[in-house]
Amino acid sequence: MLSLRIALRFLTSSKVQTIGIALGIAVGISVQVFVGTLIISLQQSLVEATIGNAPHITVLAADDGLYIDDWQPYIQTIEGVGDVRDVSVSLSTNVLMNTPDDRTFPGLVRGFEIENSDGIYDISSRIYEGTAPDSNGEVLVGLENQEEYGLSIGDTLEVTLGNGSIQDVTISGFFDFEVATLNEGWVISNLGTVQSLLDEGDVVSAIEMQVGDPFSADSTAKKVEKAIASDKVVVSNWKTENEQLLGALAAQGQSSYMIQFFVIIAVFIAIASILAISVTQKSKQLGILKAMGITDVQSSLIFMFQGLFLGVIGGALGVGLGYGLFMGFIVGASSSISPFVDWGFIIGSGVMAVAASTIASMIPAVKSLRLNPIEVIRNG
């Protein structure tokens, strides 16, 4: 195809200019890829930090302070709802812990069926010393408390419940969730221990679960509610409890779109103006081609193909550069953000470069239509 060949030849015969434009596009697109990927990773990290080791949906007793007693059948019902996974129960109560050297700290004793709850909290792998409670009366204490109160495995803690009853538990190990408030606030035990502490029978305070797509946790929660169909319980989800976070994420997403928008505008203007200049540069060639009978479509295509190629080269370079920068930045800075590479977004950015530069090249293409061969021929 003639237009294609001429376009390629125009590009290859002025290599410096071509490389310059392609690099310009590449820089724009690399900024787009870098910033976009960084923001996506930040958001993912934030969401992961917030809900990675937390229930996405929680079923609680409808009345405050009451427990769910007929919880066993609910489990099966909930597990039947699509997208739900890692369903487990917990029984929690606020207590005061008295240490062997007679100091006191407040804590939330949380009783889990630890193997089931691992799906959400990953408790087993958080134990850095000792073992999970395997018989009743054993508890795990957090890192900060161990250090503060000089605790060791086998120590006995005196537990004072809200109702005033006092019982002893033994430390079987220590955990570290890497979140100080959890380490300080939680005392982890098994379900049986907490049930016997409370002496309320076979009850739980919450049925907890995660879902495949955390961002549709609200609609999944509705399904759970419908499936249980009981007014003795209420169903909540992480989204209603984290509206601020979601708002922040949305705002971040918006700013990311803004950046991307302006990058694309910049690429667009650059290509349009540079190719427009090249119409003037190549006016002699265009003039004679027109005299020889090149059609308007063919002459337009010469510029559109140039735009297309510049977009493809610049886009590919930009994607590579942006991705490289991002990985270098993340790995090099060994930051707390774990890289999340959204290939859809990255490839989309490349495609956008190609689309923007091809569309931008329509401006010089149209300009080329107005070029009158006589002007060229008359003016030598």
Partner 1 sequence: MGNVLELKGIEKTYFGAVDTKVLHGIDLAFEEGSFNSIIGQSGSGKSTLLNIIGTLDKPTKGLVFVDGQDTSKMGKMKLAKLRNQTIGFVFQFHYLLPEFTALENILMPIQISGKRVDGKTKAKAEELCELVGISEVRNNNSTKMSGGQQQRCAIARALMNQPKIILADEPTGNLDSDTTAQIYSLFRDVNAKLKTTFIIVTHDRRIAEEADRIVEIKDGRVFLDIKR
Q: How far is the CB of 373 from partner 1 (least distance, A)?
A: 5
Near partner 1 by CB under 8 A: residue from 16, 229, 292, 333: 292
Instruction: Please report which helix (H) or strand (E) contains residue 91, including its range.
Output: strand 84-98
Q: Are 197 and 167 in contact (CB under 8 A)?
A: yes
CA angle 239, 183, 158 (to 5 degrees): 120
Backbone dihedral region of 251: left (phi > 0), alpha (psi from -120 to 50 degrees) or beta? Answer: alpha
Facing residues of 225 across strands?
Answer: none
Residue in 119, 185, 192, 373 binding partner 1, rule: CB under 8 A: 373
Q: What burial class does residue 111 get, using C-beta atoms within 10 Å of its C-beta: 0-12 exposed, 13-18 middle, 19+ buried? A: buried
Binding mask 241-280 for partner 1 (x = CB under 8 A): ----------------------------------------
Contact between 296 and partner 1 per CB under 8 A: yes
Q: Pick one of 182, 294, 356, 371: the residue that binds partner 1 (CB under 8 A).
A: 294
Q: Which of 9, 85, 226, 232 binds partner 1 (CB under 8 A)?
A: 9
4 vs 96, which CB is nearer to partner 1?
A: 4
Q: Token pair for residue 270?
A: 């650059």
Q: Which stretch binds partner 1 (CB under 8 A): 18-26, 57-65, 131-139, 293-301?
A: 293-301
Tokens of 172: 């079987």
Least CB distance from residue 280 to partner 1, whole Å?
15
Contact between 19 and partner 1 per CB under 8 A: no
Which token pair is 345?
């977004």
How many CA atoms does the CB half-sphere of 156 hold within 13 Å?
4
How far is the C-alpha of 131 from the C-alpha of 170, rounded, in Å? 12
Q: By C-beta, is 201 or 293 nearer to partner 1?
A: 293
The binding site for partner 1 (CB under 8 A) comprises 2, 5-6, 9-10, 13, 284-285, 287-296, 298, 373-374, 376-378, 380
